[in-house]
Structure 1
């Protein structure tokens, strides 16, 4: 599988970067009590913090809203997934556990204030291109709707789009039967490469502790636009 960062993204935002983490031979199951507890506690702490601080004042949320505008999307209409999580928590509509992979992915997204995506690799067809969606770019999302991804950042394989920092698709959703995943860490453009690599290492280590298996990762940017993952 080859993962490629489309040049058009870098023309819009030269500092655009993201992390790709590939997990193989993992075991996805009901989340351990430790993770459930941390997820609940973090949401409760975040709720009280947001009583004193606007959602749009969190650095990561703010930076991704600005990036959305650069891509040509309305951040008030198409909220990136990290902001959507924060807005749920602000209403005390806390996220309930689903399974270990999704729960940990949500925890990372809230903790680092950035969108995160996780996909079943065996449901991805061919190579992956990360680019901006067009008027005809659509898919059935995990929000239960057919989503139009015009001017939104998307992940596409030979079949079509399957992921976005907006909402992910039903087609590549991770389940408890999943053993091979691709996790996408939508880093802040302001984060330098070394800091981004350290973050990928930290995320990969924690995911591995819960799921076992093997981990490999890379950071895509203007200096490294393609990853051949064998």
Structure 2
């Protein structure tokens, strides 16, 4: 599949970049080893972060600025990395879903990048990051219809399916064997992506048994 960024998004947010990982994985409940790592990281971030410090993370700051430039309030619609860190600072912790989602969220909260992992078998054709049109909605994971207008949103031939705040149910990661595409949303350039994509890949190998991973940056 070809993955691209629309001219509109690039024009408004010229530092937009996408880090992409493509791989096959057996999605299962997380092992105790992965859960222990997850809980250790959450506990460490609870000590290290404050609400004020979250906003100082450069990747979170860049995402907030992109939302504002595209016409979406970054206060009313927080990006996923920021929202998870706020839960951690407030002592609410994070839900544990499955091995792929745990790795996804671990890298997101430690890096500040919002990251989406999608079932590639539920996607059709090429993918483009677009500015969602006025009035756009989709059914979110664990949520009713979500207002996605003006958010930087991933589209395939079937329509919208993901953005840095909340993904749709259509391509959510469920148990079983799946082709998966993971996408890092960056709005401050590609310079830091390789390091975090490599760490994500290492976690996939160590905790999810994934041995072959394709990586590229858009």
Q: TM-score range by the shorter chain?
A: over 0.9
Structure 2, unaligned runs of 5 or more: none
Is the 2:18–2:190 Cα contact (8 Å) retained in structure 1?
no
Which residue of the partner structure matches residue 112 of structure 1? 111
The Cα offsets for residues 85-106 of structure 1, whole Å up to 9 and x where unpaired, read as 0111122111131110001100
User: Is 1:198 equivalent to 2:190 in the alignment?
Assistant: no
CA–CA distance in structure 1, aligned partners of residues 138 and 48 of structure 2: 35
1:74 match: secondary structure: coil
The Cα offsets for residues 115-161 of structure 1, whole Å up to 9 and x where unpaired, read as 01000011112221111100242210014120121110101111110
Shift of 1:6: 1.0
2:173 match: secondary structure: coil
Superposed counterparts of 1:30-41, under 5 Å: 30-41=29-40
Structure 1, unaligned runs of 5 or more: 221-230
The Cα offsets for residues 169-220 of structure 1, whole Å up to 9 and x where unpaired, read as 111100112421010011241452xx42333233223213322242112101
Which residue of the partner structure matches residue 214 of structure 2? 216
Which residue of the partner structure matches residue 223 of structure 1? none
- CA 1:202–1:84 in 2, change beyond 3 Å: closer, same or farther? same
Superposed counterparts of 1:119-158, under 5 Å: 119-158=118-157
CA–CA distance in structure 1, aligned partners of residues 87 and 99 of structure 2: 20
Is the 2:23–2:180 Cα contact (8 Å) retained in structure 1?
yes
CA–CA distance in structure 2, aligned partners of residues 131 and 196 of structure 1: 20
Q: What is the TM-score normalised by the length of structure 1?
A: 0.88
CA–CA distance in structure 1, aligned partners of residues 34 and 165 of structure 2: 24
Superposed counterparts of 1:48-127, under 5 Å: 48-51=47-50, 53-127=52-126
Is the 2:139–2:169 Cα contact (8 Å) retained in structure 1?
yes
Q: What is the TM-score normalised by the length of structure 2?
A: 0.92
1:179 match: secondary structure: strand
What RMSD, in angstroms, separates the aligned Cα atoms of the two structures? 1.7
1:189 match: secondary structure: coil
